[in-house]
Structure 1
């Protein structure tokens, strides 16, 4: 027989509140452990740096490399996406981006010494837009750093991912203009995957537009994707911008993109990320 003097906790606000607090406590504890793991990764410089080739789809020449930094796989960070997503939610973005910039350039230089024939390759560095807008990010420091290693600013392309929203486009455009005046170039990464694609392209006026792999893969048989890429291609022609198709893995996709006149491509079908600067090759 049910005791009518005791409330049904499963239906009470008290039980709901208890469950919420328990869940929140677990989340905070997990975040705390991830903070400690992040500090350990930075302290030990335990990220592994890879270089993925970017190819001219017409002649197969490797024009440059995207620098990719991956953390060790652990129970706290089982994959790279979760790792970077966590950093973006913390107050460590600036600290981590400066750390990433420094080790990326240092390891790039080490790679160039081993592959001197790649010394003129373009270098695509991922950077969070909030970092470029941070007053603590010293303008001119990146230029000084790369020139110390004998790299020209004209070789460096800052990749701004379209998934990371920019709130003040006018101010951000001014900042990018300053970097351009030093010789750096800009790429909008993951174009087509976010909510502000067209606005981002109009305001930032990138030298490169990297189309997200979700649009590129199976494009040879998907009309909607074909129309989207055609739209971006027309914009690129009118604005003197180059297109880089990401995520190329299939021969038919490569053939379709080349026929469209897409300038450059990147993906496992053209070259996997490697620790050395290894040129890619076209799918045959």
Structure 2
């Protein structure tokens, strides 16, 4: 195998250096318009900060310590309109020097700089591998005592051991351009924690299509981890989040083909949460469809939800696709999906995500 083929994805595995935002340095701001430039210069003059201007480039360089960067950028954004902030380019450079050619790829919007200034805790978490997984059982609808699989769910860990919810991490990762790194860390954690816990049933692993450029490179570490722990490929189900998918159908098909070639199965998650569910079913032809929890919530009392879900289940049954109803919280919801032919169920009525996961799930009878 050539070195280029064996090489893993640097985009997924390289973290931004926190040093870029630490220590003494200068913030360079390139303003979009002359009156924006004048407005900022006036604000800086009133603040007493040390700064330099390059009028012909509509550039302002402000001296400050990186630890104060977030507050400074927030102040600047407060002085400009929303459109001015979005159009202003910004860069933090350590020391006293001018930006070099190697610095310009880091030039971004004011919003991006603010996000990166506040993303240090997430960079630390990724660098220190404080990303873990909790597992929620997926059980057979007809007999909820039988665990069919577990879904791996992302969790972060503070240094004191307390948990960080996934929403906080994912939101910041998207804004700070760290989604590639977080998505990879979540996949690796799902595999390695499942092996450590000795899970012998299928494991559902979420992945974000937009965080993968080329599966042959971006997914190489994940596939290697699965092989390393000896997890059978048929016990790995990768979930595509329907409501967060890439608009490029060909890219999705390439990802699915890569997974299937490696022997893994594919699930379409959050079915019913987006507008393109039917198109995705025929384009991706998933092995498993997961019905979105909002579609299931109170389904026994909502004729619209019931009609939509009945058609999706009928379609899945005709196509031989297994189905999972997510977010089951009441016996009535369980009874409805059971009566309408759902294969598996998942939700707080059965068990919450945990590590180690629940192994004995309750029985529900009609």
Higher Rg of the two aligned structures? 2
Match of 2:89 in 1: none
Match of 1:281 in 2: 362
Residue deviations 1:153-173, cap 9 Å, x none? 110000110111322213421
Rounded Cα–Cα distance in structure 2 between residues aligned with 1:200 and 1:188: 8
Are positions 1:205 and 2:285 aligned together?
A: yes
Deviation at 1:174, TM superposition (A): 3.3
Match of 1:52 in 2: 136
Decide which structure has greater strand share. 2
1:128 touches 1:164 (CA, 8 Å); kept in 2?
yes
2:291 touches 2:323 (CA, 8 Å); kept in 1?
yes
* Coordinate RMSD, CA, aligned: 2.8
Deviation at 1:138, TM superposition (A): 4.6
Deviation at 1:19, TM superposition (A): 5.0
Rounded Cα–Cα distance in structure 2 between residues aligned with 1:67 and 1:171: 24
Match of 2:4 in 1: none
Residue deviations 1:68-115, cap 9 Å, x none? 1122589xx975323212323443222222222222211111111xxx
Query: Which of the residues 65, 81, 84 maps onto 1:20?
Result: 81
1:66 touches 1:123 (CA, 8 Å); kept in 2?
yes
Rounded Cα–Cα distance in structure 2 between residues aligned with 1:110 and 1:217: 34
Output the TM-score relative to the length of structure 1. Answer: 0.82
Moved more, 37-46 or 274-283: 274-283
Query: Which of the residues 237, 240, 262 maps onto 1:182?
Result: 262
Output the TM-score relative to the length of structure 2. Answer: 0.65
> For this pair of structures, how many residues does the alignment match?
263
1:55 touches 1:281 (CA, 8 Å); kept in 2?
no
Q: Residues 90-129 of structure 1: matches in 2 within 5 Å?
A: 90-112=176-198, 118-119=199-200, 121-129=201-209
1:191 touches 1:197 (CA, 8 Å); kept in 2?
yes
Match of 1:218 in 2: 298
Deviation at 1:23, TM superposition (A): 7.7
Q: Flag the 1:273–1:94 CA change in 2: closer, same or farther, 3 A.
A: same
Structure with the greater relative contact order (CA < 8 A, sep ≥ 6): 1 or 2? Answer: 1
Rounded Cα–Cα distance in structure 2 between residues aligned with 1:139 and 1:275: 25
Match of 1:10 in 2: none
Match of 2:10 in 1: none
